[in-house]
Structure 1
Amino acid sequence: MNTGQYIILLSIKSSGVLVCFLTAKFSDSSRRRYIAAEIDKFGKGNISTQAFTFLELGLATQNFDCECLLGSGGFGKVYKGHIRSKNMDVAVKQLDRNGFQGTKEFLVEVLLLSLLRHPNLVNLVGYCSDGDQRILVYEFMPNDSLEGHLLDLGPNQKPLDWHTRMKIAAGAARGLAYLHETAQPPVIYRDFKSSNILLDENFDPKLSDFGLAKLGPTGDSTHVSTRVMGTYGYCAPDYACTGKLTVKSDVYSFGVVLLEIVTGRRVIDSSRPSEEKNLVKWARPLILDKKSHLIADPLLQGNYPMKALHKALTVAAMCLQEDSRTRPLISEVVNALEFILKIKKHDDDHKEENAEDTSKSPPALQTIRSHVDRIASDKSNSDRERY
């Protein structure tokens, strides 16, 4: 008999919900009853998530027909479905039964997405745990993922304009800020990447896929020690080396995605020359040397305020600091991006970037900018000493 054992503690300020799972054991044969009972017991009055049967979801997806397939990956497959009883289009995520996500992780994801409510988090409609099935049912996002609009652009797709890109970045940052600073203890997303940012009909972003999410440190603890998980290229170097997870690990991943948004490049691209294969390593020196124009996505065709471009790259550079202590809080990133969103093309006088007037920048952006200027100065002094 296979058994599992775990403890979860989650408090959400906004709803006053306290969910506490004491040590629990279960067998495969009682999995479905156990999951339903635990969700009902600890989420009663606060969770509207519906338990679907496998038959209901089969009807919704035409028996999981390949024509309804939206995408697939290591996690499993996602199908478009329609729930007749709700007259609602949904995305049905059928997790790989041989994958790493077990009953514990599945239950955590159901509860997190049920209890955490924010405009920039995807809405969980329901779940299915019939037999060995683990299925999540989300609201349908008609514009798919950010990755598809940046890195997998079809021949008839228009590239995202500058304002839409910054709107997506700011919205995604707000979602992270809710996880980091509203949930207590904080929730560390641990897998922030462009494919996990879904877009609605207005291109407003919502974070999805909380399978790797981890509750953050409490009390005097500064980090959570855990097995390193995530996606190569997006993972913070300090977390990858030590297994010490903090909210600043997510901030690093956000910096990577912000670079993708600005450049239109993949974080790891083996098709490019060796010096350009790794996006962060390629972009970092160009940012410090203030060569912003060499970094911007060519598909933008120069249609962006140069001042806004430079400031966005400044934010990315601070998020990507190798020392996690020097990375900004995600709330500071939100403030900076909201300021950047207000910069219009006609505000750009095309002066030298190093002559920019930062007096009107918000404190968060001024702090980030001063850090980058210091780093650039240290680099310059180091170069002079070398020669």
Structure 2
Amino acid sequence: MLYASTPVELITLLYHFCAGYYSCYCFCPFSGPMGFFLGCFGCGNHRHRLQDHLNNDQDTGTRVGDNDQDYWSPAVTGLKRYRWQEIETMTQNFSQVIGVGGFSSVYLACLPAESTLAAVKVYHSSSLRLNQVFKSELDITSQLHHPGIVKLLGYCNDREEGVLVFEYIPHGTLEEKLHSSRNQEAVLPWKNRMAIVFQLAQALEYLHDECSHHIVHGDIKSSNILLDAHLNSKLCDFGSAKMGFSSAQRPMINNLSLMGSPGYTDPHYLTTGIASKKNDIYSLGVIILELITGAEAFCAENDQMLTSTMRVRRNGNFELEVNKVVQMAEQQLILAGLTDTEEATNMAYVAALCLHQLPGLRPSAADVCRIMREKISSIAFLFSTDAHKLEQNSLQFYATQP
């Protein structure tokens, strides 16, 4: 048993136990509002422990999706269903791994008919629990059509392992761009940083307000933001997503799956178990801080979260914290090509609003988009005639897909 008396301690325990970027773990209240009993389904070095638990949890004799004709939404039934042999051919027998999580691996693939690249996500385990995760991600992503969200192309459920086929986004993740030693010489320009925030906020506005079933992503982090050849952002990994939320929902304790990742998870969610759109907004605030400062959301070396630099009080007085963030980021801003710190100050205020202790006082994703349009001139290039045409063409393309 592991115990944590504060959200910071809880996230630190989660980080050390999971030792990876992809996490799935469970918790339930223990005693008092801040006490937790933590049962962790870890990843990375703890994957075998998870596999043993999950394999004991359910028999593994059926393929993913068997006898689920009533489950699939119309969006899923309209998707291309690949055979396992096709998946093997497309991935050249799973020869090139481009991503690894606790419960899945992602392989580079080539679609034979279109001669285009794709990313194939294969779930490792055949337990009922992960089958449900696979089916949930399939059901949710099949309904999403937005240029700021990675597009699902098809799926395979021939075998015990569930398979999802996505469009391939060639330039890696925002995490790699910001924090990988390979990219230290090519600093991400300020205007692209702001464009990434704006595009992410647009994607969240779509999920939270424009989808027929409101969706909470549940795991917004820099490693789940992909970058295309023009540094446009695309949100991925809906394995933790919740569908059908109007504002907030408290899940049943015996069926509670903790969303989020160390450094990005809303403390209010950790202490209450209430999942809402405002959890995603909190994580958006962390992303903004990452892009302003260039620092990681969670530093394992000193057990410090980036949000510790910005303690937003209940009274909303956060001028001191904003100035602290801008001073901390001074060198990073110069490298990013920003000579006037006014925009950085404005964005630090936006981050502070997103990180407010009281979820009800955080802005919506639509509010963030509106503020950025009014205050951040660096994103003006996104609204040029050519960019507008490109965006409209993208929207039209996605709207015509099944």
TM-score (norm 2): 0.71
**Aligned: 1:269 with 2:299:** yes
Q: Distance in 1 between matches of 2:358 and 2:152?
A: 35
Partner of 2:130: 102
Alignment equivalent of 2:235, drawn from 207, 221, 227 = 207
Partner of 1:183: 211
Counterparts in 2 of 1:198 and 1:100: CA distance versus 1, 3 Å: farther
Partner of 1:55: 85
Alignment equivalent of 2:249, drawn from 212, 220, 223 = 223
- Give a deviation string over 1:24-54, Cα, whole Å, max 9, x none: xx9953644435x457x6316x864211122
Which amino acid counterpart does residue 135 of structure 1 have in structure 2?
A: V
Q: Distance in 2 between matches of 1:100 and 1:327?
A: 36
Kept in 2: contact 1:192–1:234 (CA 8 A)? yes
Partner of 2:348: 313
Q: Distance in 2 between matches of 1:326 and 1:237?
A: 15
Partner of 1:74: 102
Q: Does the residue aligned with 1:102 lie in a helix, a strand or coil?
A: helix
Counterparts in 2 of 1:91 and 1:297: CA distance versus 1, 3 Å: farther
Q: Which has the higher contact order (CA 8 A, sep 6+)?
A: 2
Kept in 1: contact 2:245–2:276 (CA 8 A)? yes
Which deviates more, 313-322 or 77-86? 77-86
Partner of 1:85: 113
Partner of 1:4: none
Which amino acid counterpart does residue 90 of structure 2 have in structure 1?
A: A
Q: Does the residue aligned with 2:138 lie in a helix, a strand or coil?
A: helix
**Aligned: 1:282 with 2:309:** yes
Partner of 1:113: 141
Alignment equivalent of 1:43, drawn from 40, 52, 74 = 74
Query: Unaligned stretches of 5+ in structure 2?
Result: 1-58, 312-317, 381-402
Mapping of 1:289-368 within 5 angstroms? 290-296=323-329, 298-301=331-334, 303-304=337-338, 305-343=340-378
Counterparts in 2 of 1:241 and 1:135: CA distance versus 1, 3 Å: same
**4+ long deviations beyond 6 Å:** none
Counterparts in 2 of 1:222 and 1:177: CA distance versus 1, 3 Å: same
Counterparts in 2 of 1:289 and 1:186: CA distance versus 1, 3 Å: closer
Counterparts in 2 of 1:155 and 1:116: CA distance versus 1, 3 Å: closer
Kept in 1: contact 2:84–2:156 (CA 8 A)? yes
Q: Distance in 2 between matches of 1:101 and 1:197?
A: 25
Q: Does the residue aligned with 1:154 lie in a helix, a strand or coil?
A: helix
Counterparts in 2 of 1:201 and 1:47: CA distance versus 1, 3 Å: farther
Number of aligned positions between the proteins: 310
Query: Unaligned stretches of 5+ in structure 1?
Result: 1-25, 346-387
Q: Does the residue aligned with 1:328 lie in a helix, a strand or coil?
A: coil
Kept in 2: contact 1:188–1:214 (CA 8 A)? yes
Identity %: 30
Compare CA radii of gyration and give the structure with the larger one: 1
Kept in 1: contact 2:60–2:160 (CA 8 A)? no
Which amino acid counterpart does residue 110 of structure 2 have in structure 1?
A: H
Kept in 2: contact 1:167–1:341 (CA 8 A)? no
Q: Does the residue aligned with 2:299 lie in a helix, a strand or coil?
A: coil
> 1:242: how far off?
1.0
Q: Does the residue aligned with 2:153 lie in a helix, a strand or coil?
A: strand
Counterparts in 2 of 1:93 and 1:296: CA distance versus 1, 3 Å: same
Q: Distance in 1 between matches of 2:130 and 2:324?
A: 47
Kept in 1: contact 2:63–2:160 (CA 8 A)? no
